[in-house]
Amino acid sequence: MTRGCKFSFHVAIVIAAITYIYLSTVFVFIDRWFGLWSSPGMLHTVVFTFLALMCISSYRLAIYTDPGRVPASFVPDIEDATNPIHEIKRKGGDLRYCQKCSHYKPPRAHHCRICNRCVLRMDHHCVWMNNCVGHANYKIFFVFVVYAVTACVYSLVLLLGSITVDSQNDIDDSDRIIHVISGLLLVPLSLALGFFLGWHIYLIVQNKTTIEYHEGVRAMWLAEKGGQLYSHPYDIGVYENLTAILGPTILFWLCPTTGHVGSGLRFQTKYDRLIVTSAPD
């Protein structure tokens, strides 16, 4: 399912950054280090162009893919054995109902105040994509981060290599400015995206969303306070957690496509009995 996309200043910044990094890497770093038309230069150009194309395609898909809508006809059935988890409100004990959307919310769904609707398995609203990250586009978003980190680190290595060559030869003022700007851009970007990638690898392995992680911290504290052990109800094992997000075929884990199998309202759990979990209103 696709969605319309309004112009966003943050999206424009990301596109400008991708364009600048690609042009400076190919026509400055690779050209000065190896020579653009030499065999090593052409090889590095092909590899980096592939990474750039994967970044652009996955970023575009993440923006335009609808993260997942709750069907208007959805009504929780607490007697349905195929859907063993039913979240309730912390206050009142009722099943979760969105007053703004005027329908019940299935497990892991949350209302986004920016998109003004409920999103299935919502992780967060990403201003850099002008879209929510949810059930239908989480894998695409993750793949984009993987390729973005790889491209930034690769470009940074080529930058350092071209600086080594430039220190032995004369360098134009314009190229020196490009090196400085690129260094100021690539170093913090590589660190930030690297941390972000590690964070989402942790979430995928645990089968958590960012929202569920913060909720789990509080739930764990309350459980320990009551002398109980807290267990994340959606954790079905490392490999099963990975395949639930990235898909069953390892060879396609880094392809910018959705990895989910089944409908958006089907959620796997390690329990085979009814579980009532505490969820925000």
pLDDT, tens digit (0-9, with 9 covering 90-100), for 252-270: 999 988 755 444 444 434 4
Residue range 218-232: mean pLDDT, rounded: 73
How far is Cα 269 from Cα 153, in angstroms, rounded to an integer? 37
How far is Cα 235 from Cα 177, in angstroms, rounded to an integer? 49
Q: Does 235 or 91 have the greater pLDDT score?
A: 235
How far is Cα 242 from Cα 259, in angstroms, rounded to an integer? 10
**Catalytic positions, written as ranges:** 126
* DSSP single-letter state for residue 81: T
Angstrom distances, CA of residue 254 to CA of 66, 145, 201? 20, 10, 13
Q: How confident is the model at residue 169 (pLDDT cuts 50, 70, 90)?
A: low
Let me know: does 233 contact 277? Beta carbons within 8 Å. Answer: yes
Taking only the tens place, the pLDDT of each residue in 94-146 is 678 888 888 888 888 999 999 999 999 999 999 999 999 999 999 999 999 99
**Which two three-digit tokens encode residue 276?**
């009532």
